[in-house]
């Protein structure tokens, strides 16, 4: 009997990727045959991204190689996450939950996704305690004001954020 590959989509803006994201992707990669890290190209809800889709893709690919994750690939998407999930032959969307505010937001989104596509299941993975406080936006804020970001994001992201902020400073 031929069994179907179980593919999970892990969507996000990843602007930029943090070790919290990498933790969720790595754990999803342990649960499914294949993981597709789906980068939201342009969000209606969030302002413009700091990093291009290409930069965000490279950051994630490098971090996953470093973490030894071999069954995950990165793809940008330009449609509803459920449409993307269906189009690539996946049936599961994996999201990370940090705290109650994530839960409220994700519950709403999960219900809406289910209303749009009852064949797609949402699976929630609890953030590891050491990353439960971590978000891309806080990392950007810390970096902007010279805060310490090592240990929160991969090395190449630390370098890129430092360079980007130096450019901002030169413009001021």
- Residues near ligand ADP (CB under 6 A): 12-14, 18, 20-21, 24, 95-96, 98, 102, 127, 131, 134-137
| CA dist list (Å): 144 to 13, 89, 131, 133, 136 | 19, 40, 20, 18, 12
Toward ligand ADP, which CB reaches closer, 84 or 131? 131
Query: Taking the complex as a whole, how short is the minimal distance between the CB of residue 127 and ligand ADP, in angstroms?
Result: 3
Query: Taking the complex as a whole, how short is the minimal distance between the CB of residue 101 and ligand ADP, in angstroms?
Result: 10
- Whole-angstrom Cα distance, residue 58 to residue 73? 11
Toward ligand ADP, which CB reaches closer, 43 or 169? 43
* Dihedral sign for Cα atoms in the order 68, 70, 71, 73: positive
Toward ligand ADP, which CB reaches closer, 64 or 127? 127
Please count the residues of the chain: 172
Our CA angle for 47, 50, 54, nearest 5°, is 115
| CA dist list (Å): 168 to 132, 153, 164, 171 | 29, 20, 6, 5
Query: Taking the complex as a whole, how short is the minimal distance between the CB of residue 172 and ligand ADP, in angstroms?
Result: 25
Query: Taking the complex as a whole, how short is the minimal distance between the CB of residue 163 and ligand ADP, in angstroms?
Result: 21
Toward ligand ADP, which CB reaches closer, 105 or 169? 105
- The encoded tokens of residue 39 equal 């980068």
- The encoded tokens of residue 138 equal 């806080």
Query: Taking the complex as a whole, how short is the minimal distance between the CB of residue 34 and ligand ADP, in angstroms?
Result: 18
| Bond prior to 16 in cis (omega within 30° of 0) | yes
Toward ligand ADP, which CB reaches closer, 80 or 169? 80
């Amino acid at each position: 009997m031929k069994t179907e590959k179980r593919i999970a989509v892990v969507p996000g803006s990843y602007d930029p990727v943090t070790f919290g994201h990498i933790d969720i992707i790595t754990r999803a990669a342990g649960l499914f045959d294949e993981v597709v890290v789906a980068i939201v190209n342009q969000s209606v809800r969030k302002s413009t991204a700091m990093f291009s889709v290409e930069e965000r893709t490279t950051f994630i690919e490098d971090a996953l190689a470093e973490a030894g994750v071999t069954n995950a690939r990165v793809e940008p998407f330009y449609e509803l996450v459920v449409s993307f999930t269906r189009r690539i032959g996946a049936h599961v969307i994996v999201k990370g939950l940090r705290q109650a505010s994530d839960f409220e937001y994700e519950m709403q989104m999960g219900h809406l996704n289910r209303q749009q596509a009852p064949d797609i299941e949402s699976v929630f993975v609890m953030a590891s305690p050491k990353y439960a406080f971590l978000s891309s936006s806080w990392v950007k804020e810390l970096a902007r004001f010279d805060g310490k970001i090592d240990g929160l994001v991969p090395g190449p992201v630390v370098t890129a954020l430092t360079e980007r902020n130096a450019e901002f400073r030169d413009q001021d």
